[in-house]
Chain A
Amino acid sequence: MASASLQERARALTPPALPTLVRAWLPVLVLGGLTLLLHFVVGPAVGPYYSKLLMDIGINVILAVSLNIVNGFTGQFSIGHAGFMAVGGYTAGMVTYYGGLSLWGSSLPQGGFLGPGELLFALSCLLGGLAAAGLGYIVGLPSLRLRGDYLALVTLGFGEIVRVLVQQTDDVLFSAEELAAVPVWTLPTKVGGALGFTGLPFYTSLFWVYLFVSLTLLVAFRLKASSHGRAYLSVREDEIAAEAMGIPTTRIKVRAFVLAAAFAGIAGALFAHEVGTTLNPRELGFQKSFEAVIMVVLGGMGSISGAGLAAVVITLLPEALRSVADYRMVVYALALVVMMLVRPQGLLGLHELWDLPLVRRLLRRGGGAR
């Protein structure tokens, strides 16, 4: 009897090959399809105002979902996410602005969709992400030995340091002629200072935003479902027990930090090249970090769909309530306090949207029994 049940269990554990392949690639296809649909159909149909809103939403989704890897999965408390966004944004800005100047003698966009300018932009996004990740490692390594409030303070301090350093830079940018004469490492000294890094080419489009949204979501979901991701969750659940299971908890926390910083850097690069935004230190200060924290806390610590949904709502809210938008920080703070008192794990907790009983019932009715 025991051997029969063993065989049954083994069979239950081995999924058939074809559905596995479909399940592995389906999300990629769906997200890729949605990205193209947004860019080529929805964007032109709704016009520039709503397109910009959709891009804002996408950027905030990347921010929230990536911060969720640190604050939600791993249970640490980082409130310096905008610092990484700024590092990514400024790095990418230097690549496209000064890169464009030296390549084409102009910082204006070059070529159309997927043209040379956009390829430089794609490269700048990756470099922005890389720079933020590197800094994430440097900040994370010492500070992740700290716990709770102490870590929060370090990340807060880090965000402020980035902001102040950017403010100290020169607001007169290098011209094309100067650029040829100065060494590369002096570029970060002239990125606009307190006035902001103006004149960046507007490369950010729905395509690029949702390409990176898709990438962020795929990485986050794969991570959560993997046994490696389970190690992140165990750190959040009980750090000592996790260590006692053989999980190198400090290394896991640093990894979470680096991964989240990388995506924040990409979000910063997208933000820097968006129409109607200026890359300046004020925009990427504590308020932005705080907004990202609110999204994660409201959506649910550890819930990817929850954090994404909260990002959508929090982006739309000030648009819908223009007249009281100035008070939104008051509302956020209140919401945070109430949330911490009533439901500290966030609206969804660890669960995803489709884990909710109501949604489950709907899915079952719609999609047939599984």
Chain B
Amino acid sequence: MPLLQIRDLSVHYGAIQALHGVSVDVHEGEIVTLIGANGAGKSTTLRAISGLVKPSGGQILFDGRPLHGLPPHEIVRLGIAQAPEGRGIFSNLTVDENLEIGAYIRKDKDGIARDRTRALELFPRLAERLQQRAGTLSGGEQQMLAIARALLARPRLMLLDEPSLGLAPRIVQTIFAIIREINATGTTILLVEQNAHMALRAANRGYVIEVGRVVLSDDAKALADSDEVRRAYLGGH
């Protein structure tokens, strides 16, 4: 059974339908990516999983359990953490305080300390800036903080929304390397990206979303090689 099962998910924003029956499976240990153009409904799918928007139809099962009707803070407790689009860091708090809030749902002090150390080893840049206000970090560092903070919730499934957004290519490389590393230690990842090239290189499987529907799904490598994806998203011929 997949860790996350999305069945026929529909979402309306007022009169506008953003998702028309999207179905996605994520298995334990995978990196799965949703790629597609701006406004295709990728972020909406993530927001529906984390409870920030209410679906108008369909089902989301996490570990076999329906998430329907749960508020976001309950969904986090089930083991789904996210690094939201635009990062959503707490800019007037220090880097360390941001990390502490990431572990808000946990009570195991030793475990938190261990995970904090691990997160700082993954992101040495953050270790140097622990006492700095998060708002003064560079864009790349803020993205790192958003991922590190999600890591401190010790999620089984991590949702990443456009981690490459607005970042220089070198930093994007670094961040994707770390995403793979996080996955290698057992965290399942659902990754939403416009940067299809990077996303498909990191992921095991991918889904292509266009105007609220899944139009293609396959192994990441097969998708990267397919003509349709190359033409539409990878700038190939």
- A209 within 8 Å of B by Cβ? no
Please indicate the chain B residues that have their CB under 8 angstroms from the CB of A341 in the complex: none
Contact (Cβ within 8 A) B90 A243: no
Q: Does A231 sit within 8 A of B, measured CB to CB?
A: yes
Q: Check B76 against A246 for contact (C-beta < 8 Å).
A: yes
* Identity of the chain A residue whose Cβ is nearest the Cβ of B146 in the assembled complex: A241
Does B38 sit at the interface, judged by CB under 8 A? no
Q: Are B92 and A247 in contact (CB under 8 A)?
A: no
Q: How many residues of B contact A (CB 8 A)?
A: 27
Question: Contact at A240–B113, with CB atoms within 8 Å?
Answer: no
CA gap between A30 and B89 in the complex, in Å: 37
B17 at the interface (CB under 8 A from A): no
Task: Evaluate contact between A244 and B117: CB separation under 8 angstroms.
Answer: no
Is A230 within 8 A of B73, CB to CB?
no
| A248 close to chain B: CB less than 8 A | yes
The verdict on A237 contacting chain B, using a C-beta distance below 8 Å, is yes
The residue that B113 contacts in the complex, of A10, A233, A242, with Cβ under 8 A, is A10
Interface size class for chain A? 20 to 34
B49-78 CB contacts (< 8 Å) to partner A: 50, 52, 71-73, 76-77
Task: Please report the number of residue pairs spanning A and B whose Cβ atoms sit closer than 8 angstroms.
Answer: 75
**How far is it, in angstroms, between the C-alpha of A343 and the C-alpha of B43 when the chains are bound?**
35
Q: Which residues on the B side are within 8 Å of A238 (C-beta)?
A: 88-90
Instruction: Report Cα–Cα, A349/B93, bound state, in Å.
Output: 12
Encoded as 1 (CB less than 8 Å from any A CB) or 0, chain B from 86 to 108 comes to: 00111111000100111011000
Identify whether the interface residues of A are mostly helix, strand, loop, or mixed.
helix
Q: Closest Cβ of chain A: how far from B110's Cβ, in Å? A: 10
Q: How far is the CA of A364 from the CA of B82 in the complex (A)?
A: 42
A303, B122: Cα distance in complex, Å: 34
The answer to whether A13 and B113 touch (CB under 8 A), given A2-B121, A234-B90, A244-B82, is yes
- Bound CA span A6–B149, Å: 19
* 0/1 interface trace, chain B 145-182, chain A, CB 8 Å (1 if under): 00001000100000000000000000000000000000
Does B84 belong to the interface (CB within 8 Å)?
A: yes
Chain B CB within 8 A of A270 CB: no
Are B92 and A237 interface neighbours, CB within 8 A?
yes
Q: CB-CB < 8 A to B92: which residues of A?
A: 233, 237, 302, 349-350
B residues within 8 A CB of A247? 73, 101, 104
Known contacts A244-B81, A302-B92; 13 further A-B pairs (Cβ under 8 A): A227-B101, A227-B104, A230-B93, A231-B101, A233-B90, A234-B90, A240-B88, A243-B71, A243-B72, A243-B73, A244-B76, A246-B76, A248-B71
Q: Name B residues whose Cβ lies closer than 8 Å to a Cβ of A.
A: 50, 52, 71-73, 76-77, 81-82, 84, 88-93, 97, 100-102, 104-105, 113, 117, 121, 149, 153
